[in-house]
A and B are shown apart, each in its own frame.
Chain A
Amino acid sequence: MNGLVILIPAAICLGLLALVTFLWSLKSGQYDDLKGASERILDDEAPIRRSEKP
């Protein structure tokens, strides 16, 4: 029973962490262009995007 006092909050907190991470990744646009992201990996010429200027 004592173990549960630590384990249950820990489990729920981990779950919440995953949920928040997912919502954050959704909000920051990481799911907006799945096809583009998978293609961009193949672009070995440009480790830094040329179109973005300082």
Chain B
Amino acid sequence: MPASAIMATPVIAAAEPVSDDAEALLALSRAAGSAARQIEFAVPDAYCVTCINAIETGLGRLPQVVSARVNLSQRWVRVVFAPEKGSVLDLPRAIRASGYRTHALDPVADGRQDQALHELIRCMAVAGFAAGNIMLFSVSIWSGADAATRDMFHWISALIALPAIAYAGRPFFRSAFAALRVGRTNMDVPISIGVVLATLLSLWETIHSGAHAYFDASTMLLFFLLVGRTFDHLMREKARGAIANLARLTPRGVTRWLADGTTAYVAAEDVTPGMLLLLRAGERVPVDCRIVEGAGDVDLSIVTGESMAVAVGPGASLAAGAINLRAVLKVEAERTASDSFLSQMAILMETAEASRTTHRRIADRAASIYAPAVHASALLTLLGWGFFVGDWHAAMLNAVAVLIITCPCALALAVPVVHAVAAGRLFRNGIMMRDGTALERAAAVTDIAFDKTGTLTVGAVRYVGQASGDPAMLPIAASLARHSQHPLAVALSAAAPAAPLVVEEVSEAAGQGMQARADGATWRLGSAPFCGGIDIDGDDRGAGTEVCLGRGGAVVAVFSFADAIRPDAASAVAELEHGCKGVRMLSGDGPQAVRAVAEALGIRRHAARLSPEAKLADLQAEAAAGRRVMMVGDGINDAPALRAAHVSMAPSSASDIGRSAADFVFTNGRLASVPFVLGIARRADRLVRENLVLAIGYNALALPLAVTGHVTPLVAAVAMSTSSILVVANALRLDFGTNLVPREEPVPGNVRVEAVRS
């Protein structure tokens, strides 16, 4: 669904800086055989076989490429290349030349996750094999195999079951052991105890030629549980991979000026205060620094929430995370990376995390009640049969039957299956969910707090209209604006077709505007004083920004710009208020801009000029008042608030830190995602509760049978599988309902890709 994100927010996508560095790329690659290296690039826009062809063919033409293979599920391409035959920088260039956005991926984090999934699948395969084969023997035992044959079948079953359980049970045993060691209990504790006891008892029965062995039940139990767990893991992996795919390669290094006038590449962590650095256009500011030489504009929207680009000159301080828009700047580092603005936000986030009301997963809460109840009834069964009936052998058998029949197979499936179905549903609608607890927390939300810039608005200026002057001036202004890279100029040139003018002698004055000669006159485009008019002061200016066009020292036209509100913001806000949620706006931008957006969207409660600390304090006050707030924001300054909120959401255009702080990330560029997530969360919550009731109710029905000794391995197997199937079938109901986007993804790049292919 990244494809739809491009459609909705073209300016943001185009403005994303592209900074590749050969050393940084080589550091991300790893050896693959002799003299070859391997690296992965994300290709978030690839979606079909033509994309595969375009990318692989484009890369294949390079002499240094040994092989290139696109992985369409994960949306990356793995390239094996020979560094001595050509530069690694050609690889991302070749992918971009094929018409796809790309950035290098960090292989370390991905590799570890893959191993966990592979272990789960291997365990599942082994458990499935064991359960299937043992079931064959069990069926013949149930249909009346005689004594000697039964013993033999039991022995063969044991032979298969023991190594299988030892291998496939490890994920559960590990987790149960870890929980017990810190004095807690989770769902894996009763599972592990049930499986181990059932296996040991069955072994005892087998040795003593008993009639009942539960090898089939214990392996089947493991198999079902592993299916649920793998499902859960896959869904989370998919969302995590998609979020990682969106992340650009963060600047790991910067270009440094050396004393002899040459430049060198240093890692961001190695920058010390006083070091002179070179900041190219489009680069993100790596550490807090001060400008020594050069002037230009910086985009602070992601740092402070300010919607307009800010002009800076020598002596100005830059916060880490700001984007240098135009000129090459020579800057002096003022702090190290670990002291910079970004890191301060990270520290604030940690304190926010600590103050967040700890949410206990609903499954763990159920387990903490369920496990003691089950173990108590098993113990009572043992003691009851032992003392009152006097048959300790039957007592042991029945106690284990209680453990098996109540072993929370359906219970353990009840929550993850619902969450996996919900995650799949959200994923298809362009929303990534970080983990299941986010869904549980979202179900309890009472208030929603929105950030303004980049969340309610698209975070990029758009041309709104002409405030004064002759309409014929617009094409002239547009053709002048084509010669500047300033965001306002870019917006202006996109607003109108250029006039047939010959523009000459273009010069730019940073922070003021541009001047050029055309049609025999001197034109100026920029601020009012620069063009010969009177400046309108500060906050009285209104929500947007104005650009004047001057001819020969007099203003002839004024154009208005504003940060465009997301198209469906008003309907999303109305939908949330209709659902009885309190909607608020917390912004770091000026009061005028905030009020204009609030009025346009009908948000009554809003606050402007909030520092990151103030946003955090606001959310903590709300939480203390017992309200559960969902924070929707995108900036670096929102990150602590995103972490402090009960649950949080960010658009995919958000800053890396904002995106990683959020529980949900929506890539569809639509604010309708917010009510959609809340709706899914509420339905999921209801289904989880239904499932818990179903599973526990089923077990409660079977419990008296087990206590009174009427449960045979056959009854256990039937009860276990039917309750599991019931729970899964119930969870699948979540997949019905209207979607935000149609199931098939839109295909914006189709024409372009076809052209590349032919």
B56, B68, B72, B118: which contacts A26 (Cβ < 8 A)? B118
Which residues of the other chain, A, contact B66 by a CB distance below 8 angstroms? 53
Q: Which among B52, B125, B160 has the greatest number of chain A C-beta atoms within 10 A?
A: B52
Whether B133 pairs with A51 at a CB distance below 8 angstroms is: no
Q: Give chain A interface residues in 1-54, CB to chain B under 8 Å.
A: 1, 4, 8, 11-12, 15-16, 18-19, 22-23, 26, 31-36, 39-40, 42-43, 45-46, 49-53
CA A52 to CA B48, docked complex, whole Å: 19
Residue of A nearest to B68 (CB): A51
- Asked if B149 is at the interface (CB within 8 A of a chain A CB), the reply is yes
Closest Cβ of chain B to A47, distance in Å, is 13
* CB proximity of A6 to chain B, nearest CB, Å: 14
- Residues on the A chain within 8 Å of B69, using CB: 49, 51
Is the CB–CB distance between B49 and A52 below 8 Å? no
The interface centre, meaning the residue of A34, A45, A49 with most chain B CB atoms within 10 A of its CB, is: A49
Give the shortest distance, in Å, between A23 (CB) and chain B (any CB). Answer: 6
B57 beta carbon closer than 8 Å to chain A: yes
B56 touches A51 (CB 8 A): yes
Interface of B is mostly: helix
A46 to B65 alpha-carbon distance, docked (Å)? 18
Chain A interface SS verdict (over half): helix
Contact with A along B388-410 (1 / 0, CB 8 A): 00000000000000000000000
Give the distance in Å from the alpha carbon of A18 to the alpha carbon of B126 in the complex: 10
Choose one: B56, B73, B122; the contact of A35 (CB below 8 Å).
B73
**Contact present for A12 and B73 (CB under 8 Å):** no
Shortest A18–chain B CB gap in Å is 7
Contact partner of A36 among B73, B136, B149, CB < 8 A?
B73
Q: Report the separation of the CA atoms of residues A35 and B427 in the bound assembly, to the nearest whole angstrom.
A: 15
> In the assembled complex, which residues on chain B have CB atoms less than 8 Å from the CB atom of A43?
49, 52-53
A31 to B126, CA, bound (A): 17
Whole-angstrom distance between the Cβ of B45 and the nearest chain A Cβ: 14
Given contacts A15-B129, A39-B49, A42-B49, contact A49 B74 (CB under 8 A): no
Q: Which residue on chain A has the smallest CB distance to residue B67?
A: A52
Tell me the bound Cα distance from A16 to B401 in angstroms: 30
Contact across chains for B56 and A50 when beta carbons are under 8 A apart:
yes
Q: Determine the chain A residues whose CB is within 8 A of the CB of B67 once the complex forms.
A: 51-53
Residue numbers in B under 8 Å from A26 (CB-CB): 118, 121-122, 125
Q: Are A33 and B60 in contact (CB under 8 A)?
A: no
Report the Cα distance A11→B68, complex, angstroms: 42
**For the complex, is B514 an interface residue (Cβ under 8 Å from A)?**
no
Q: A23-B122, A51-B56 are in contact. Are A33 and B129 (CB under 8 A)?
A: no
Cβ of A19 and Cβ of B60 under 8 Å apart?
A: no
A4, A32, A51: most-surrounded residue (chain B CB, <10 A): A51
Interface residue from A18, A23, A46, A53 paired with B53 (Cβ < 8 Å): A46
Q: Which residues from chain A contact B126 at a C-beta distance below 8 Å?
A: 19
Min C-beta distance of A50 to chain B, whole Å: 5
Indicate if the CB atoms of B125 and A19 lie closer than 8 Å. yes
Shortest beta-carbon distance, A27 to chain B, in Å? 8
A22 to B149, CA, bound (A): 31
Closest to B757 in A: A45
Instruction: Given the known inter-chain contacts A43-B49, A50-B56, A53-B60, please indicate yes or no for A15 contacting B133, CB distance below 8 A.
Output: yes
A45 partner residues in chain B, CB cutoff 8 A: 53
A50-B56, A51-B60 known; A23 vs B160 contact (CB < 8 Å) = no
Q: Is the CB of B70 within 8 A of A36?
A: yes
Minimum C-beta distance from B489 to chain A (A)? 41
* B180 on interface, CB distance cutoff 8 Å: no
Closest 9 CB pairs of A and B: A36-B72, A51-B60, A51-B56, A39-B49, A33-B71, A19-B129, A35-B73, A35-B72, A51-B68
**17 A-B residue contacts at CB 8 Å?**
A11-B133, A11-B136, A12-B133, A16-B129, A19-B129, A22-B125, A31-B121, A33-B71, A33-B73, A34-B73, A36-B72, A40-B49, A40-B52, A46-B53, A51-B57, A51-B65, A52-B67
Interface set of A (CB-CB < 8 Å, partner B):
1, 4, 8, 11-12, 15-16, 18-19, 22-23, 26, 31-36, 39-40, 42-43, 45-46, 49-53
